[in-house]
Chains A and B, each alone.
Chain A
Amino acid sequence: MKIRIFVTLKNGVLDPQGKAIHHSLEGLGFSGINDVRSGRLIEMDVDDNVSDNDIDAMCRKLLANMVIENYHIEKVSEGADT
């Protein structure tokens, strides 16, 4: 089973990297960018019997820092383009 975990900064947490990317994009001449937030994508391949609870625990215990980050778990269906 393929899983994608998106880790993003919570609302209200400043994102210096997002700001720098924003600035850099504008430096390249792109306009109309209102805001940039950066995050992290973690892809995992796990056995089908790994429970949702376990995946959730993996996020809470290691993959995301719950002080500053949120996470979102997405199961990638078979045959989907990865």
Chain B
Amino acid sequence: MKSAVITFPGSNCDRDMAVAIEKTTGKAPARIWHGESQLPGNFDLIAVPGGFSYGDYLRSGAMAARSPIMNAIVKAAEHGTAILGVCNGFQILTESLLLPGALMRNAGIDFVCREVPLIVENTGSSFTKAYQQGEQIIIPVAHHDGNYFADDETLDRLEGDGRVAFRYAEPVNGSARNIAGILNAKGNVLGMMPHPERHIETLQGGTDGVRLFKSLAQSLLEAV
């Protein structure tokens, strides 16, 4: 699996993401600076990591979504490359319109930083097939703007098309319908607020994140 991790000014989970990908799939990802306007080759997976790109100025993810590399990522997404956006990466993917809706300030305005239970809602995607339908897993969150918002029509469409990948098993941040992660219509773009890359070895308190990367490696292997 050829993968890449993008770094924006203010990204702080890019290294964790790179380590998680290497540990779970056996191959280190390429590291790409946001200022590049082209991807150096073809990739099976592009990860847009968490952090505070551009200091969350204007809106979380707004500036990063207009970075030169994002044009290349949008094109790659159109060609079917798997795109994983975690936390600030999810915000960047909604700001760049690869995913619908927006991530707003948490209800209660607190920064939420803890392990949360998630329900796996979709096991048909290349990101989630190693999980069981309806399974409860534990993945940590750490965010200020994770309150997912979309109009009712969009939410109904997401639910109806099975595009809600993960749902919080309990209220965490005020997200509409407790949505924690969503897929695009083609199923090759996943945005999620929880950090799977932070639960890949027991030392981190859990390993439920491993299967997300294993799912990708397995799916992409099958696709070849």
Contact = CB atoms under 8 A, between A and B. Distances in A.
A68 B60 CA distance: 13
Contacts of B66: 61-62
Given A62-B62, A67-B102, A16 B108 contact: yes
Interface in A51-66: 61-63, 65
Nearest to B97: A67
A63 B102 contact: no
Interface of B: 58-59, 62, 66, 94-95, 100-102, 104-109, 147, 149-151, 174
Given A62-B58, A67-B94, A17 B102 contact: no
A16 B147 CA distance: 10
A16 B107 contact: yes
A14 B149 contact: yes
B109 A16 contact: yes
A20 B108 CA distance: 7
A61 to B, nearest CB: 8
Given A62-B62, A62-B66, A17 B149 contact: no
B62 A68 contact: no
Interface string A20-43: 100000000000000000000000
Nearest to B95: A65
Contacts of A80: none
Contact of B106 (A16, A61, A62, A65): A16
Contacts of A67: 94, 100-102, 149-150
Contacts of B108: 16
A50 interface: no
A16 B66 CA distance: 26
Contacts of A62: 58, 62, 66
Contacts of A13: 104, 149
Greatest chain B CB density within 10 A among A12, A14, A17, A65 is at A65
A13 B150 CA distance: 9
Contact of A68 (B102, B106, B107): B102
Nearest to B173: A16
